Structure 1
Amino acid sequence: MTHDHPREIARRSILRAVGGAALAGPALLAAAPSSFAASAVQPVSEEPDALESAAAGNRLPLTVVNHSGTHGNASVHVYIVGTDPRGRQVHVNRAGKAVPVALSDNGANGFTDYALPLAANGAATHLKLPRMSGRIYLSMGKKLKFKAVRDGNGQPSLQHPAGWVSSDPNFDVLHDFAEFTHNAAGMFCNTTMVDMFSIPMNLRLTGRGQHSTGTVREGGRAAVFAAMRRRAAFDRLVVDGLRVIAPGHGLDLGLFPKNYYRPYIEKVWDRYKRHSLVVKTNAGTFTGRVSGGRLTFHGPATVSFDRPTTRDILFCDGALAAPNDGVLGPVAAVLGAGFNRSTLLRTGPQPTTRPAAFYRTTLTNHYAGAIHSVVGNGKAYGFAFDDVGDFASYIQDVAPRRLQLTVTPF
């Protein structure tokens, strides 16, 4: 299945914006790939009339369930933050109202306390999501420190945790997040490991259908940590028992080789001096060759790419930047996925959509490969264009009735 990837381009923009700075835009756009089949994670029972009433009032019922097996409800904290339809940065309170961020929200310690506690009794905590785009953060053991600041336009905004930065005040806090956009078009959400892998969680969305992101198998979290510790170049990405940092962030921090992909890039560039690379997208079929140091494709339009760096590959940016234009963007996305999955030297058109062919070479994104290997349906967001071929942990429904986020067993 080919794919135009308009949603993921916007998502990468927000990931750059929130790296230790203020959330600057919507997490997702409405256009997205097809939903995925439901997993074994079961929803907590609700009263249908109450659910429909709440959803009709533009506040989607959200149930949070803690099945971690390591942390009791008293030590788990939920934060819902993002941008409302008016473009204001907001946090959601216990009543499900989106409250604008204010500098006065910072307490004596210099940080806000937007934590929503889990229910003291029972497995489920019932909340509501207003219409907005943002993230649902979870922290365990300690609360997160969000700081209200002024953005470049002088408006109140929020600094988000950056678990891959050792100087971040939340570096020693076990935390993770899911992303969502809830608007008049429906509910669009995903679990993401693009920045880091820390807390295994599942999203289950009920609306016109039943949809679920992939579930990390029991013991899968430990398996990812162990796999990274065993592999040279990736071993330094493990932060104690807290998280594994994505290799792109690791590269920026000097923890991952900046020329890791160089031998593979050279092989790709050399091969396509002599052979044609065929890329199929919804816009049509593109055929490319390397000439003058650039990989140039002809087809519905002519698009060209400079030789990428390792950083370009890991962030799907730079030489592989993908504008939301329906032409260059889709080709860039396929190339980004092919480099991360190390499938570009295989014969036949791209994208390669057979999972057994992914991450099979010595030089590949072993971080993404390890995460995919422990998810029940094989779908995860290990890098920005992991949705090429619909392998991402993304779900949607145009008539949502409820959302359940479950912390699954560690």
Structure 2
Amino acid sequence: MISRRSLIRGAAAAALVAPATGLLVTEAGGVTRRKAGSKAAAMPLKIVNNSGEYDNGSIHVYIVGNDGTNQVRVTPEGELKPVALGDNGSDGFTDYAIPLAGSGETVLQLPEMSGRIYFALGEKLKFKAVEGGDGKAALAYPAAWVESDPNYGVLHDCAEFTYKNGAMYCNTTMVDMFSVPLSIQLKGDKDQTTGTLKDGARAKVFQDLKGAEAFSKLVVDDKRVIAPGHGMGSGLFAEDYFDAYIDEVWNTYSGKDLTVTTNAGKFTGRVSGGKFSFTGPAEVSFDKPSTKDVLFCDGALAAPNDGTTGPVAAILGAAFNRTTLASIADQPTTDPAEFYKGDTAHLYVKAMHEATVDGKAYGFAFDDVAGFASYIEDGGASEITLTLTPF
């Protein structure tokens, strides 16, 4: 249910500005994999521009991430190169842009790595090579939710992936923001697609959130909608938005049990002494989270990769974000009709899920709980296509 928890953080961990990534995967059940250590050939990566707003000449692609040892980038020829401080030009930024073909689809080669595939429309992105905490070169990633960031004015978005031992794990993400409609098709043992928006859905997302008072300041012109967690601290989103709901959950389970079912087994929890304590395959407990903890699925809701605390934290985090925790005492909830109800509904995530054809999106870090993330994987992957779909 929640076996996908450790992939992309490695790609951005050393970055000066580390994104709050959506894709957090290890190996998921049922995936056919090559023998450990057998490196796969580069995979064809097709880029299709169906944006209807920008021609191929005004779109730039960036493939950046981590190869397990260094932060790396991919050249237009498909070569994997470590990030280097000397890559910064006279303007202080790297130019890792990969142009699209003059017309039609663009075919690139994607080597084994974990990372992000960025699209910049109209202007190039400004990635800066810096010295990381380990002394190695790292990248300062775009942080488009920060007005002072050099990429704030650039229309851009990204998809996330890990390609290793012939297996591909990938997703679209709205964990940090929503801007450019993207769709992923993954071919291999199966033929899968996710992330496709309904006709007119981008405009509807902007319109609906602009009309919701608590979320309206997160809409930045026609460029992007910033995720609520990134709006906190800058006056764009209330720092106490979920506080009343968190209190309701704490009060509810002071008087009755909550059952959380994980791959490790069932946990039974109750609030006592200010903590939400669970018994079952192991004893785990959680302090009362803040609104920030809920939005980032961190802090009191941090999910270590330990097989017990982590899975319970993920399910609690999902139930908080979907506002199902107070009303449903058996988690995780799998019926999306129960999600995003009440006065403190997470309307940002609701809008993302309503926008997609398959109802799946990566609106918060634990959106993969019960399979609602715009995530696909294939252990025998042979080709991946990223399509910029109509605005």
Structures share fold, TM-score greater than 0.5: yes
The TM-score, its normalising length taken from structure 1, stands at: 0.89
Instruction: State the alpha-carbon separation in 2 of the partners of residues 235 and 17 from structure 1.
Output: 32
SS of residue in 2 equivalent to 1:396: strand
- Equivalent residue letter for 1:89: Q
Answering whether residue 157 of structure 2 is matched by residue 160 of structure 1, we say no
Aligned partner of 2:308 among 297, 309, 327: 327
Deviations 1:289-322 (A, max 9, x none): 1111111111111111111100000000011011
- Alpha-carbon shift at residue 212 of structure 1 (Å): 1.3
- Alpha-carbon shift at residue 17 of structure 1 (Å): 5.6
The equivalent of 1:107 in structure 2 is 89
Answering whether residue 123 of structure 2 is matched by residue 127 of structure 1, we say no
Deviations 1:97-137 (A, max 9, x none): 10121112111111111111111122x00101001111100
Q: Is the deviation greater in 208-217 or in 376-385?
A: 208-217
- Is 2:22–2:365's contact at 8 Å kept on the other side of the alignment? no
- Is 2:20–2:176's contact at 8 Å kept on the other side of the alignment? no
- Is 1:198–1:243's contact at 8 Å kept on the other side of the alignment? yes
CA gap of 1:253–1:243, structure 2 versus 1, over 3 A, is: same
The equivalent of 1:71 in structure 2 is 54
Unaligned runs of 5+ in 2: 32-38
Instruction: State the alpha-carbon separation in 2 of the partners of residues 29 and 184 from structure 1.
Output: 14
Deviations 1:25-56 (A, max 9, x none): 99654323789xxxxxxxxxxxxxxxxxxxx9
The equivalent of 2:36 in structure 1 is none
- Equivalent residue letter for 2:81: V
The equivalent of 2:206 in structure 1 is 225
Instruction: State the alpha-carbon separation in 1 of the partners of residues 312 and 111 from structure 2.
Output: 35
- Alpha-carbon shift at residue 146 of structure 1 (Å): 0.6
SS of residue in 2 equivalent to 1:7: coil
Q: Is the deviation greater in 241-250 or in 5-14?
A: 5-14
CA gap of 1:57–1:391, structure 2 versus 1, over 3 A, is: closer
- Alpha-carbon shift at residue 162 of structure 1 (Å): 0.6
Q: Is the deviation greater in 168-177 or in 359-368?
A: 359-368
- Is 2:23–2:365's contact at 8 Å kept on the other side of the alignment? no
Instruction: State the alpha-carbon separation in 2 of the partners of residues 34 and 253 from structure 1.
Output: 43
- Is 2:20–2:296's contact at 8 Å kept on the other side of the alignment? no
- Is 2:262–2:311's contact at 8 Å kept on the other side of the alignment? yes
CA gap of 1:327–1:135, structure 2 versus 1, over 3 A, is: same
How many residues of Structure 1 are paired with residues of Structure 2 in the alignment? 385
Alignment of 1:276-355 (within 5 A): 276-355=257-336
The equivalent of 1:38 in structure 2 is none
CA gap of 1:242–1:363, structure 2 versus 1, over 3 A, is: same
Alignment of 1:200-215 (within 5 A): 200-215=181-196
CA gap of 1:325–1:208, structure 2 versus 1, over 3 A, is: same
Deviations 1:384-408 (A, max 9, x none): 0000100001111111111000001
RMSD: 2.2
- Equivalent residue letter for 1:60: M
CA gap of 1:277–1:13, structure 2 versus 1, over 3 A, is: farther
- Equivalent residue letter for 1:65: V
- Equivalent residue letter for 1:74: G
Instruction: State the alpha-carbon separation in 2 of the partners of residues 106 and 359 from structure 1.
Output: 44
SS of residue in 1 equivalent to 2:371: coil
- Equivalent residue letter for 1:104: G
- Is 2:40–2:164's contact at 8 Å kept on the other side of the alignment? no
Instruction: State the alpha-carbon separation in 2 of the partners of residues 14 and 83 from structure 1.
Output: 4
Answering whether residue 67 of structure 2 is matched by residue 93 of structure 1, we say no
- Equivalent residue letter for 2:27: A
CA gap of 1:57–1:274, structure 2 versus 1, over 3 A, is: closer
The equivalent of 1:400 in structure 2 is 381
SS of residue in 2 equivalent to 1:31: coil
The equivalent of 2:41 in structure 1 is 58
The equivalent of 2:27 in structure 1 is 31
Instruction: State the alpha-carbon separation in 2 of the partners of residues 356 and 24 from structure 1.
Output: 27
Instruction: State the alpha-carbon separation in 2 of the partners of residues 24 and 197 from structure 1.
Output: 13
- Is 1:341–1:365's contact at 8 Å kept on the other side of the alignment? yes
Instruction: State the alpha-carbon separation in 2 of the partners of residues 320 and 208 from structure 1.
Output: 35
Instruction: State the alpha-carbon separation in 1 of the partners of residues 331 and 167 from structure 2.
Output: 31
